[in-house]
Structure 1
Amino acid sequence: MKQILKWIGIIVVSVVLLPLVVIFFIYKKAVGKREYDPKVLDNLEEAAQDYVKKTAPLSDVDSRYKYIRLAQKALPAAKEIEVGEVEDKKIDGPGGKIGLRIYTPEADGPYPLMVYFHGGGFVTGSVQTTDAIARKLVKTTGYRVISVDYRLAPENPFPAAIEDAYATLVWISKHLTSLRAKSGEIVVAGDSAGGNIAAVVSQIATSKGAPNVTKQILLYPPVDIFSRDASVLYPSMDEFAEGYVLTKESLDKYFKLYLSGANDRKYDPLVAPIRSKDVSKLPAAFVATAEYDPLRDQGEAYAKKLKDAGVPVYAKRFEKVPHDFMSTPSVATDETFELISEFLQEKL
């Protein structure tokens, strides 16, 4: 009997405890050692200070991205932000199935439609990481929000994310009835890398004449090259290179992973929408930038380019917050949702 118990113990350790230990170390590697400069906290609002402490930069993106994804997918849903219904769905895409998460308001339809693209440098992130943002958009705007799990680099580098994003717009335009859409108009939105995707698909839809994208919401987007080279045009790349949520080093690594095998296309408008020669016919834009963000200057430059071309633009720099400030409850976050709602109602 003792021998049997001994073997049972060995099996339990091997089958149960050992995998848990492995998962623990994978998680620790995903979280990594987060470092920030305590002096930068003096520049930030209180909620942003706490956010920087918890999510200080991980520069070693290229060796950790798989582990980071595991940790992000384990995030709990933001169920305290109640909506009417949440449905996970898969549709056919150019590279296989595309995951969608569809958030429906509590009120009865029909609904105006918004497509949301998550951030994560085209390498990390998922519909799960922006679950709270999507839910809050539903609550504050009354839109039905369709969040897209597009393919990620480096396994699926550029243009995979863009292909999935546009394919989703086309699918939506063909399923307006089943989506209980109020009209054929579609609003595109996204944060960080997702803001880039929203800007790019706005340009594609405009040039093709379909689907009918009528507004774009761009939250602290990279709209030009987001590598070290960008410092020449955008001083904020150097000014906020370290110490906040996003670093110049991590941006450079994201850029290289995203453009793996396609570096010759770094100035292509499908990568850098600000490089488009004609933006005059693009939909109205809401552009939010963060004061302490290396991407700040290029986001503001894109807003200016659109405005100079005659596109209706509402642009605002949110003070005392870093990149990705929408991921944490704060005064700036609440104000952003309110302004987005007003923008959609054409009150701005």
Structure 2
Amino acid sequence: MKNVFKWVFILVFSVVLLPLLVVFFIYKKAVGKREYDPSVLENLKDEAAQNYLKNTAPLSDVDSRYKYIRLKEKATPSAKNIEIGATEDKKIDGPGGKIPLRIYTPKEEGPYDIILYFHGGGFVTGGLQSHDGIARKLVQTTGARVVAVDYRLAPENPFPAAIEDAYAALLWAQSHKTSLRNKGTSLIVAGDSTGGNIAAVIAQMAKAKNGPEISKQILLYPTTDIFSRDASVLYPSMDQFAEGYVLTKESLDKYFKLYLKNASDRKYDPLVAPIRSKDLSGLPKAFIITAEFDPLRDQGEAYAKKLKDASVPVFAKRLDDTLHGFLKTESKATDETYELISEFLEEE
């Protein structure tokens, strides 16, 4: 009888308690001490922005942090308080296996604009759950149907895995426009932060491959160039907001290295840094929002200018008193962004 209890204990420990202990130690190491400069709060007049900084201030251990964030995001509940018509989870075939999608449908009857949405997270974190609220808000405010793409993440799946999955999802949406009830002949790509990078890259790929047809691209505080430290030469905001504003220069550098694992020679490739493309003419009409206190601000604005110089129609706006990632807050800047996106989609 004692042997039975012994084996039951071993089984419970190995299957239940051991994984919980691993999660606990990762959590303890990752959370550590949150580091933010209290003087930074004086620059943020918006209370939602101040609270966001306090709650998401950067952590010293980037390696442990991304592991913890992945675990946390998988357990994040859906933002069901943002009411829409329906959601559907499905998986499609991709170059590296199945690609999870979540399709968000408005309450209203179609047909709809179809937005293919790519989440942010430095190419190493994020997923359907972490950006569920953003996708729902997009549906609620624009009346579009949103297809969120859960692309493969680094470092397990470094570049070009995310791009390959994103383009496969675009091809799937193109071939399923009828069942998606697309009201036009073209699609819309969108994303925040590194998701904005993916959306911009996919728009360039579609142009180079003569399809699928993309009518608009929505880039929200996007990454358009390399993360490495020498980027601050071109983009002063990389140094100006290197520390203390949620997203740090150190974490950007780390995420970039994880993303380009075994492919550091590709850091100037337009598939990594869309702003490095030699020809941006003929790309879809662009909507680009940047945040005042964001190390990525200047490269997002530089991409907007380069698109304009290539005669691409661009709506670009810098939102004051905001931080990188503000779409996850309940700030005035967040509400304004969704309103502007809605207006952008209504334009011919």
User: Which residue is equivalent to 2:341?
Assistant: 340
CA contact (8 A) 2:30 2:61 kept: no
Q: Which amino acid counterpart does residue 273 of structure 1 have in structure 2? A: P
User: Which residue is equivalent to 1:29?
Assistant: 29
- 1:58-103 Cα distance to aligned partner (Å, 9 max, x none): 3533344333211111111100001111111100001111110100
- Say whether 1:161 aligns with 2:162: yes
- Say whether 1:41 aligns with 2:41: yes
The whole-number CA distance in structure 2 between the counterparts of 1:271 and 1:336 is 26
Q: CA deviation at 1:34?
A: 1.8
Q: Which amino acid counterpart does residue 221 of structure 2 have in structure 1? A: Y
User: Which residue is equivalent to 2:176?
Assistant: 175
The whole-number CA distance in structure 2 between the counterparts of 1:278 and 1:22 is 49
- 1:308-330 Cα distance to aligned partner (Å, 9 max, x none): 11111110101111111111111
User: Which residue is equivalent to 1:206?
Assistant: 207
Q: Mapping of 1:124-203 within 5 angstroms?
A: 124-203=125-204
The whole-number CA distance in structure 1 between the counterparts of 2:199 and 2:334 is 20
User: Which residue is equivalent to 1:221?
Assistant: 222
CA contact (8 A) 1:103 1:144 kept: yes
Q: Which amino acid counterpart does residue 126 of structure 1 have in structure 2? A: G
The whole-number CA distance in structure 1 between the counterparts of 2:255 and 2:19 is 30
SS at match of 2:185: strand
- 1:26-74 Cα distance to aligned partner (Å, 9 max, x none): 3333434321111101111210000010000135333443332111111
User: Which residue is equivalent to 1:295?
Assistant: 296
CA contact (8 A) 1:220 1:296 kept: yes
CA contact (8 A) 2:30 2:59 kept: no
CA contact (8 A) 1:58 1:250 kept: no
The whole-number CA distance in structure 1 between the counterparts of 2:342 and 2:143 is 9
Q: CA deviation at 1:18?
A: 5.7
User: Which stretch of the first structure deviates more once superposed, 317-326 or 14-23?
Assistant: 14-23
Q: Which amino acid counterpart does residue 191 of structure 2 have in structure 1? A: G
CA contact (8 A) 1:111 1:144 kept: yes
The whole-number CA distance in structure 1 between the counterparts of 2:8 and 2:163 is 51
The whole-number CA distance in structure 2 between the counterparts of 1:277 and 1:206 is 13
Q: Which amino acid counterpart does residue 207 of structure 1 have in structure 2? A: A
Q: Mapping of 1:2-13 within 5 angstroms?
A: none
The whole-number CA distance in structure 1 between the counterparts of 2:100 and 2:62 is 24
CA contact (8 A) 2:32 2:60 kept: no
SS at match of 1:111: coil
CA contact (8 A) 2:30 2:65 kept: yes
Which runs of no fewer than 5 residues in structure 1 stay unpaired?
Answer: none
CA contact (8 A) 1:31 1:68 kept: no
User: Which residue is equivalent to 2:274?
Assistant: 273
The whole-number CA distance in structure 2 between the counterparts of 1:331 and 1:120 is 23
Normalised by the size of structure 1, how large is the TM-score?
0.94
Q: CA deviation at 1:181?
A: 1.7
Identical pairs, percent? 73
- 1:256-313 Cα distance to aligned partner (Å, 9 max, x none): 1111111111111111111111111001100000000000000000001111111111
- Say whether 1:328 aligns with 2:326: no
SS at match of 1:183: coil
Q: CA deviation at 1:12?
A: 10
The whole-number CA distance in structure 2 between the counterparts of 1:29 and 1:110 is 48
Q: Which amino acid counterpart does residue 97 of structure 1 have in structure 2? A: K
The whole-number CA distance in structure 2 between the counterparts of 1:305 and 1:339 is 21
Q: 1:59 to 1:207 in 2, by over 3 A?
A: farther
User: Which residue is equivalent to 1:248?
Assistant: 249
SS at match of 1:261: coil
The whole-number CA distance in structure 2 between the counterparts of 1:334 and 1:121 is 24
Q: 1:12 to 1:172 in 2, by over 3 A?
A: closer
User: Which stretch of the first structure deviates more once superposed, 129-138 or 170-179?
Assistant: 170-179
Q: Which amino acid counterpart does residue 281 of structure 1 have in structure 2? A: G
Q: 1:213 to 1:59 in 2, by over 3 A?
A: farther
CA contact (8 A) 2:26 2:64 kept: no
The whole-number CA distance in structure 2 between the counterparts of 1:204 and 1:279 is 11
CA contact (8 A) 1:60 1:250 kept: no
Q: 1:19 to 1:283 in 2, by over 3 A?
A: closer
CA contact (8 A) 2:33 2:60 kept: no
SS at match of 1:223: coil
Q: CA deviation at 1:137?
A: 0.2
Q: CA deviation at 1:13?
A: 8.1
Normalised by the size of structure 2, how large is the TM-score?
0.94
CA contact (8 A) 2:221 2:296 kept: yes
